[in-house]
Amino acid sequence: MSWHNTPIAFMAKALAAKEVSSKELTTYFLDRIEAGKRWNAYLDVNAHLSLEQANAADALIAAGKGGKLTGIPVAHKDVFVTRGWKSTAASKMLDGYLSPFDATVVANLGIPSEANPSGAGMVCLGKTNMDEFAMGSSNENSAYGPVLNPWNAQYVSGGSSGGSAAAVAAGLAPIATGTDTGGSIRQPAAFCSLTGIKPTYGRVSRYGMIAYASSLDQAGPMGKTAEDCAMLLSAMSSHDPRDSTSLADSGEDYGRYLNQPWREGNTNPGKPLEGLRIGLPKEFFAEGLAQDVANSVNAAAKALQDLGATLIEVSLPKTKLSIPVYYVLAPAEASSNLSRFDGVRYGHRAKEYRDLGDMYQKSRTEGFGAEVRRRILIGAYVLSHGYYDAYYLQAQKIRRIIAADFQAAFNQCDVILGPVAPDVAWRLGEKSKDPVQMYLEDIYTLSTNLAGLPAMSIPCGFNPNNLPIGLQLIGNYFSEARLLQVAHQYQQASDWHLRQASEVA
């Protein structure tokens, strides 16, 4: 059985029917991880711990105590601290760090215990590679080398959750967790032909997630189908009193609408999305969008129209401002969050130094990579006396305007549709020397993080070089179940998400 091509919804049924054991599934994926090291998707794998968890999951299933996800393997982005596995955020600053506890996301998905009685019973396969401290759009900023794209090893996998994306696309995990601060779930999902969703800010606890920009970071799933993502998000999402930004009503079944028509009472099976209004922002289809990406996204919009949806042009006039606003606010928060890594309280300490100041400087210079240092410096600058009002405060005001633009658009439509990125994946090293060019690749994803809205990426085609293209769906606050419904109906009418990466056996 080719389990690496199997959605977890089918896997769950096979486990419940005892057609396969969790131990067999886990062994299957551990073997593939060992054979697929070329992708550099994982930073830490512990077969002994994984098989120990698989045996515990099999015991739960045998006792009739298994849930929907019990026994299914999952990979975790290395930004989530995980007991038993290294938790480094792909940085030399945290090289070799072993956490004494699990992040809430890891605990919610993990094997139930006295400390965590409500765990979903999934088996951790290991920790996936990422851009250092989640700062990047290509997964080339990892201290442990870039992740390669399973569709073409000469191209980037996208960032910062590129390791999770490559792991699923290469069949090294059936599903994985990621985080999205400015598009870091959606963009690698698009580059690797996966489905990924960033929920409303606060839906998923950030406790135990190594912070980059606290008002923007949000965790979410990356898998093959919308149904898989709905299953994982339902288990990940919960109110957490240890996270002050955690929403009180976080937990719900995000798959409840998947097979229902958009409009209650609709009995036309050929038009399940009748009544759905889809907004097409004119700013998303303007200059800078590659023609092959535009063609695929427009074809996907037409397919949704054929399913009964109505297409409406809307406007998000402050779209271009999302890049400067994000690259003021995110570095400002990063400079504050990363100040704890000074060689005294946390993180790498230089071996040789003259005094305390020299120790700070050398420890941070040695521990942080170039992109992280760049963003810390930008953040410290915009927060400094004399520049706070001119940059940081102004950026916060524009952030509110960006959020208001979305609300004006949602007065006209139910869901917003557009591309995930202006282009497909680029070659390794192609944009490394020009950070601004790399930043521009996030133009369609940043604004949803600034507004705190849910958004997702689903496969919608390929360019002439067989590189994947992603379609972005954006919803209003708390509309994850509806977004997943639209994505699921599209995937029932298309086969882009079923295609296997060209360089994967």
For residue 163, give the nearest of 195, 129, 203 by alpha carbon: 129
The owner of tokens 């975790």 is 76
Catalytic hit among 184, 205, 296, 447: 184
Scored b (16 or more CB within 10 A) or e, 423-451 reads bbbbebebbbeebeebbbbbbbbbbbbbb
The answer to whether the CB of 77 falls within 8 A of the CB of 44 is no
The answer to whether the CB of 168 falls within 8 A of the CB of 174 is yes
CA distances 271 to 231, 261, 266, 361, Å, are 25, 8, 8, 62
DSSP strand E in 362-452: where? 415-419
Running DSSP on this structure, what letter comes out for residue 96?
T
d(CA 480, CA 500): 26
The SS3 call for residue 409 is helix
| CB neighbourhood size of 284 (10 A) | 23
Catalytic hit among 160, 164, 193, 322: 160
d(CA 319, CA 316): 6
Catalytic hit among 23, 68, 77, 362: 77
d(CA 243, CA 258): 30
Concerning whether 184 is annotated as a catalytic residue, the answer is: yes
| CB neighbourhood size of 259 (10 A) | 12
Concerning whether 77 is annotated as a catalytic residue, the answer is: yes
334: CB partners within 8 A, 6+ apart:
133, 135, 212, 213, 372, 375, 376, 379
d(CA 456, CA 295): 19
d(CA 26, CA 74): 9
CA distances 30 to 112, 232, 248, Å, are 22, 20, 37
Quote the radius of gyration of the chain (alpha carbons, Å).
Answer: 22
CA distances 44 to 25, 64, 97, 352, Å, are 19, 32, 11, 29
Residue 469: phi, psi to the nearest 5? Answer: -125, 135
Residues in the chain: 505
Structure tokens at 114: 């006295």
d(CA 136, CA 160): 5
Q: Cis bond leading into 205, ω under 30°?
A: no
- C-alpha triplet 315, 321, 324: angle, nearest 5°: 160
Running DSSP on this structure, what letter comes out for residue 242?
T
The answer to whether the CB of 137 falls within 8 A of the CB of 61 is no
* Catalytically annotated residues: 77, 160, 184
